[in-house]
Structure 1
Amino acid sequence: MNILKSIGIEMTKYKIVKLGPKEVEIPEEWEVSKLSKTSTKITDGTHDTPETISNGKKFITGKHVEDGKILFDQCLFISKEDHIDNISRCKPEIDDILFTHIGSIGKVALIKKNIEFSIKNVALIKVNDKNVSNYVEYVLRSNYFRNQIHFITQGGVQNFIGLSTLRGMKIFIPPLPEQHRIAQILSTVDEAIEKTDEIIKETKRLKKGLMQDLLTKGIGHTEFKKVKLGPKEVEIPVVWELKKIKQVCENLDRKRIPVTSTDRTPGNIPYYGATGIIDYVDDYIFDETLVLVGEDGADWSSFGGTAFVVRGKSWVNNHAHVLRPVNINEIFLAEFLSMWDLQYAIVGTNRGKLNKGDLMKIEIPYPPLPEQRRIANILSTVDEKIEQEQKYKEELEQLKKGLMQDLLTGKIRVKL
């Protein structure tokens, strides 16, 4: 409790209010209000489908709204005439809130930048000056508001919330200064999440560039030769060899055992499929370092991530090939197979498949083992950085989830 007080958070007294079918406790000073009472207008975009063009005015649909984000980089474009017609009915402006009320219901995003666009099949909420837009946005993303959505839509034929229903939905309203402080706290956490996400993306871009260089050019080489890797010609260091996978790995596919989900006994041993862990079981087939490569249902394109290293006890089904590295570093092998475009080796049109024989005949660059280990260490260091940032992001997301639950219901109060 002392820690909470030191950062401006304290406990308070409560009253019981009705929210849908449930009784809920909120602070005595808070009110329960219809969403319409917090807004000057709740409307939605056009219901028509204007013709899209390659370049024009931005046009946002429900597919372009995620929680906290408007995907302008993926938006559609319409003519100036259609745009003017759309905004005459419903003009999105900065600090307005978008709310998806058709199809995928309940995705919410605040308009944070002064960008001109129009909308289709998305509700627009214009918050009045007695409330804080950012606070209302977080409320619309809260558990208690989404529980109302679930109660309203359960058993319905269509995924749809009408505007009249949306206007009548209830939210908790603290005094204005408290709305500002709650929104500030949650925005600070959101900014930290976004910053961490950018670090992850940038580090992944760095790794991609390193893979392209290290896995074909190596470290410190000045002389290169041209070789064929599948249908593609590439330069590799003169001192490197080409080897087929069958020369550097033993195939253990014969030991794989698929087990249906209903027949698996839960445990703590990873159960692998074509793209990674799909379950945890109580027994294992393998207890060693292996490289798994997707046999079907995988992405064999460049940087598709079709290969990965597993260590220790594991169970593998028949959708992943099992390779035991013999004369090759396991990380070097997995990283190369994940980076290189292997689609030339895939058979089948509908559901592609990488046959065992074709996999074992694939040729790969083969540096001396010490250089393989150096390359693997560099890439592993970058992976560790990515994992560290991903863990930190998960911690921030858990913090935000808890803060939203406590702050938006008044369970914990902020000191003003």
Structure 2
Amino acid sequence: MRPLGEVLERRSEVVNVAADGTYREIGIRSHGKGIFHKEPVAGADLGDKRVFWLQPDCLVFNIVFAWEGAVAVTSVREREMIASHRFPMFRPTQQPLADVQFLRRFFQTELGLRLLGEASPGGAGRNRTLNQRMLAELPLPIPPLGEQRRIAAILSSVDDAIEATQAVIDQLQVVKKAMMTELLMRGLPGRHVRFKKTEFGEVPVDWSTVTLGTLLVRGPDNGLYKPQSDYGSGTPIVRIDAFANGDRVNGDGLRRVRASNEEIRRFCLHGGDILINRVNSLSHLGKVGIVGEPPEPTVFESNMMRLTVDSTRVLPSFAFLILASPMTKAFFLQRAKQAVAQASINQQDVRAVFVPLPTLPEQAAISSGVENVDLRTAAECHCLELLSGLRSMLLSALLSGEIRVTPDEASP
């Protein structure tokens, strides 16, 4: 255990600001999310502000949010950038005892955050500032330098895997959006050569174009309203937070509510039912989910509408894709009734949704193609969840010494 001031030294090189120069400052995000670069500013706009040149490979703190994990390490990307006195920089002493990447990781642990909190006196809420004298006195667990570097490298490899997995998920979402736009309006690739114009764009000439209301056997109907005092036990209820737009709705993690037999009969969901959020902020209005086969009688809440389609004309999975598409989202936004903090759509709006209607086999092929992307996305999300859990476990175990890296593995 060594105090921070014994293993790191303060680095500060004052910038002589030129009025006609251009400078770029940094900021540091909380929760270990790293450095971000601000927009360039003219020296004249900095005025008398005291700023310092950034140097690479320094541990840097945001003194206002250090207690929230606003700690980072500078790199060559920050060379010739500047920071104010709110971002003190430290680098290892001449005979290094500590690795800055290791220390950055340490300050992401529960112990590291607690120490930063103790060194950040202040009022309630976010009004706290890191005291640099107290920072220098913080006791840090310092394993051998080679082990520190090995620990940092292990955690970096997990972070790289998390970043790569998130990039795959982001790209799959882009692919899905493009697929839906193309398949729902143009059909399967290579199948159609002649198209007709509609108010929403061109569709194959042999497709029907109808409104959703002509394809329904039930609904749209609004859900069950219950006061908060009725929640806690009883029948599972699907609330708006149970799914994201385009999700399958199952029975996992649902809240329960007291409901009479008549209410259960009236609002009970069945496999293939589609739920549409009818009241929300504009960005979330019209969120759509399709119901799997509920494991027990399940109802839905009042800020949603339920509808059931005629499966001899349109597959529930295909109708679900239409309702979850950007085309329908734009349609709902055009018809939304806005109040002070939220907007709404009604049953007539849902019935009026435009549906380009291919044959049932082509509907099945289109639905299957999009579902395959969903399955791949779900697999990547599961992988991301496992990697995040692994990272948390390793962060705790490696930085506390519960898991030690052997000297051979720890060689620089």
Q: TM-score range by the shorter chain?
A: 0.7 to 0.9
**Within-5 A mapping of 1:329-340:** 329-338=315-324, 339-340=326-327
Write 1 or 2 for the structure with the bigger share of strand: 1
> TM-score by structure 2 length?
0.78
Partner of 1:360: 351
**Cross-structure match for 2:395:** 404
User: Is residue 183 of structure 2 the alignment partner of residue 218 of structure 1?
Assistant: no
Q: Distance in 2 between matches of 1:134 and 1:288?
A: 51
Residues 366-385 of structure 1 aligned to structure 2 (within 5 Å):
366-385=357-376
Summarize the alignment of residues 15-414 of structure 1 with structure 2, pairs less than 5 Å apart: 31=1, 33-41=2-10, 57-62=23-28, 64=29, 67-72=32-37, 75-80=38-43, 89-102=51-64, 105-115=68-78, 116-119=80-83, 122-128=86-92, 129-150=96-117, 156-159=123-126, 160-164=128-132, 165-219=134-188, 220-229=191-200, 234-252=201-219, 254=221, 256-265=223-232, 269=236, 271-273=238-240, 276=243, 280-282=254-256, 285-299=268-282, 306-313=287-294, 314-326=298-310, 327-338=313-324, 339-340=326-327, 341-342=330-331, 343-350=333-340, 351-414=342-405
Task: Give the distance between the partners of 2:286 and 2:12, measured in 1 at CA.
Answer: 44
Provide the residue aligned with 2:18 in structure 1.
none
Aligned-pair distance for 1:217? 1.0
SS in 2 for 1:243: strand
Counterpart code for 1:330: P
Q: Deviations over 1:335-392 (max 9, x none)?
A: 3322221211211153111112222122222222211111110000011111101100
Residue pair 2:23, 2:43 contacting (<8 A) in 1 also:
yes
Q: Cα deviation per residue 1:258-284 (whole Å; 9 max; x = unaligned)?
A: 344553225894622177279623477
Give a deviation string over 1:102-150, Cα, whole Å, max 9, x none: 2583233333442343345853432313311110110011111123345
TM score, norm. by length of structure 1: 0.77
109-118 or 320-329, which deviates more? 109-118
User: C-alpha separation between the residues in 1 aligned to 2:253 and 2:185?
Assistant: 35
Q: State the AA in 2 paired with 1:126.
A: F
SS across alignment from 1:173: coil
SS of corresponding position for 1:201: helix
One-letter identity of the residue aligned with 2:354: E
Secondary structure (helix, strand or coil) at the match of 1:287 reads coil
How far does the alpha carbon of each residue in 1:84-108 deviate from its partner, in whole angstroms, 9 at most, with x for none?
976x633323222343442583233
Identity across aligned pairs (percent)? 21
What is the match of residue 26 of structure 1?
none
Q: Closer, same or farther in 2 for the Cα pair 1:176/1:386, shift >3 Å?
A: same
CA distance in 2, matches of 1:193, 1:161: 31
Higher mean alpha-carbon deviation, 116-125 vs 175-184, is at 116-125
Structure 2 residue matching 1:383: 3-state secondary structure: helix
Q: Which runs of 5+ in 1 are unaligned?
A: 1-30, 47-55
Matching residue's letter, 2:276: V
Give the superposed CA RMSD.
3.3
The amino acid across from 1:296 in the alignment is V
Offset at 1:315? Answer: 3.1
The 3 A distance-change label for structure 1 pair 305 and 57 is farther
| Contact 1:96 1:127 (C-alpha < 8 Å) held by counterparts | yes
How far the C-alpha of 1:402 sits from its partner, in A, is 0.5
Shift in Å, 1:42: 7.2
Q: Which moved more, 1:100-109 or 1:183-192?
A: 100-109
